[in-house]
Structure 1
Amino acid sequence: MRKILAMLDYVMLFLAVAGSGVAYAFLEYGGGALIGATYALFACAPILAFERGYIMPGLSRRISMLPTPAYIVVGLFIYAILVFCGFGFGGTILWATGVLPMGWRRAVHAEMQTLVFTLGVCAVIVFIMRVRELLGRDIFIDLIIGRYRRPVSEERVFLFIDLVGSTSFAETNGDLRAQEYLGELFSTYAAPVRRHGGVIDDYIGDAAIITWPYHVAIRRAACINCVFDILATIETSRDEWLARFGTVPKLRFAIHGGPVITAEIGVDHHKITYFGDTVNTTARLESLSKMLGYPVLISSDLAHQLLLPKGVRSEYLGEHAVKGRGQTLGVCALSRHPVAA
């Protein structure tokens, strides 16, 4: 399902780009839909690929660290070069196939107004992409369509992730270094969460909150696979963590699900947030992880709804009193063991 959504993203993106080229062709020349769409796609595709890190990812990361004025200037310069390259490639194809009955030099030449229009279209699309990445794909769509403008009751699963030893790391290495450490760790969560259909809802200090619709979380045990995928990603990069920060992150996880009230709140700053006992219980479960000494805990009610992935074992730890909850909570510890060949 996730792959289908990603494909739809690209389809909609390229349709928007091609549509802008068609509109420009009709406004400027009174026709030439195919030519306009082809130029637009080849001119904008390198910029979109650059923004997504498919080409020159190192350069993309470096300019993203620049101050905003420098980032805008350098970004526009790179965009202009990419537009010229894409325009030249698209023009060459149109010329070679006979669609454009003119000389090659004229076919690959981008006029100033065409360059400005293309950069403008790309800037709008990149801006929308960045806002969506800032908010999260699903949250961005929900805010646009106003899905939670009125509170909605729904079932969700929450995963709380807490970094062990963050305070001592900050005391030893300083706050700036600790923030760099946290930033790298939070970036590590992104791919596994996306891969397993979740959304990073919030960061609170050194903790992250991830959520799924209930049916998505229990399908193929997505919420559990996400946990061990994150751990595997960190373990794979163990040497890099040691080289950069002198330590490998140790994490605690808590997973729980149930009914919540979901609502869009705020006036100047809008946010989709979740209310109810389910969220509070997940937070308490994470605290219980520290007390019990198990890094991955899941409520037994949720565990019984799941088919555990291969290699993952569940150990029932009994009923435990949870602060703020009128009744005890059944708790299980999860661990992964190598699967026998």
Structure 2
Amino acid sequence: MRCAVRFGPLFWTGAVLFGAGAGALYGLIFGTVHPAISAIYGACTGTLLLAFERRLILSGIQARLRRLSTPLYLAGSVAAYLALIVLGNAVAGSLIWNAGLLPETLVDLMLPSTRVVLYSLAVSAVAGFVLRMRDLIGTEMFVNLLIGRYHRPVSEERVFLFIDLVGSTSLAEDLGDMRFQALLGDFMAALAEPVRRCRGSIDDYIGDMAMVTWPLERGVRDARCLNVIRAIREQIDRDAATWQARFGITPDFRVALHCGPVVTADVGVEKHKIAYFGDTVNTTSRLEALCRELGETVLVSSDLLSRLKVPPGFAFEDLGLRALRGRDQPLGLFALRSGLRRA
């Protein structure tokens, strides 16, 4: 089973409502047009801008912009936003003209004024900042920080997935520091969309390793915590030609999966972070190190696997009970034997 698409009807409904609300607010503030009319403009323009921001349209342009220097990136982003604002207004103006809602000519209805452009850019900047902050620390963590859920420590059960880049030391020596950091950055970026589709949250980066988590019920539902591994493999393999052209390799990875109780808390003063404490996190870290020692691609604890309905195509070998450093009781481990294929 593939992971459900994250950007479904809910996203598009939210994008339309956000744009319409921003447009209606423009009508209320400036009073030059009825809020209902400005809501139509806002819905069309806002949907295009949010779709661009989420890389659902013009993703190739987004990728090229991100490789530019900061001044060129900002100039290119503003130019893209301006083009989409003009396009959004043209679409909305055409709809309003065809519906006969206003007496102006088609050209007048389609062309945005300077004030409309500046207002749209300002709203886009605020929305983009919020989305980038959400992307920076993860959707779930961002929301939890906003609502103060972990202002006091909370005991909960979570699924933890630790994923790291295979051969990072030798790759750093072969590629050099700068190219290796570019490779590592691209590898971490490749995790984002599969994790998002599988309803997970990338909560931390530690060296060449990323920590992905789910609340227990969400992570085991539809075996999302397993399906995300396959989704990551497919994401990387789809771009194999690009990886080879840029770095001469297609990245491999190792994964450790475990679940259990943790204490979750908002820590820090000037810089806040939601952190997880407890044996579950330490055990997952030990499993990730054991992957290296045993030469395994994926290790899953028996605690987690017993809670999952294993999807078709996945097969595991029982490695029996293993003693882990810092843990009193041995832990049952399973190694993945099939389910990930190279393109």
TM-score of the pair, normalised by structure 2:
0.91
1:320 aligns with 2:322: yes
Contact 2:20 2:46 in 1 (8 A): no
Q: Which runs of 5+ in 2 are unaligned?
A: none
Q: How does 1:285-296 map to 2 (within 5 A)?
A: 285-296=287-298
1:302 aligns with 2:317: no
Which residue matches 1:215? 217
Separation (CA, whole Å) in 2 of partners of 1:253 and 1:61:
27
Separation (CA, whole Å) in 2 of partners of 1:162 and 1:295:
10
3-12 vs 312-321, greater mean Cα deviation: 3-12
Which among 144, 147, 150 is matched to residue 145 of structure 1? 147
* 1:38 Cα deviation after fit: 0.9
Which residue matches 2:243? 241
Which among 164, 170, 173 is matched to residue 171 of structure 1? 173
Which among 34, 38, 42 is matched to residue 36 of structure 2? 34
Closer, same or farther in 2 for the Cα pair 1:337/1:141, shift >3 Å? closer
* 1:82 Cα deviation after fit: 2.3
Contact 2:85 2:120 in 1 (8 A): yes
Identical positions, percent: 44
Closer, same or farther in 2 for the Cα pair 1:151/1:2, shift >3 Å? farther
Closer, same or farther in 2 for the Cα pair 1:5/1:180, shift >3 Å? closer
Partner SS state of residue 66, structure 1 = coil
Closer, same or farther in 2 for the Cα pair 1:85/1:232, shift >3 Å? closer
Partner SS state of residue 62, structure 1 = helix
| Structure with greater contact order relative to length (CA < 8 Å, sep ≥ 6) | 2
Separation (CA, whole Å) in 1 of partners of 2:114 and 2:238:
49
195-204 vs 108-117, greater mean Cα deviation: 108-117
* 1:236 Cα deviation after fit: 4.1
Closer, same or farther in 2 for the Cα pair 1:36/1:316, shift >3 Å? same
Q: How does 1:1-341 map to 2 (within 5 A)?
A: 6-29=8-31, 32-336=34-338
Q: Which runs of 5+ in 1 are unaligned?
A: none
280-289 vs 98-107, greater mean Cα deviation: 98-107
Give the partner amino acid of 1:19.
G
Note the aligned Cα RMSD (angstroms).
Answer: 2.2
Partner SS state of residue 68, structure 2 = coil
* 1:224 Cα deviation after fit: 1.5
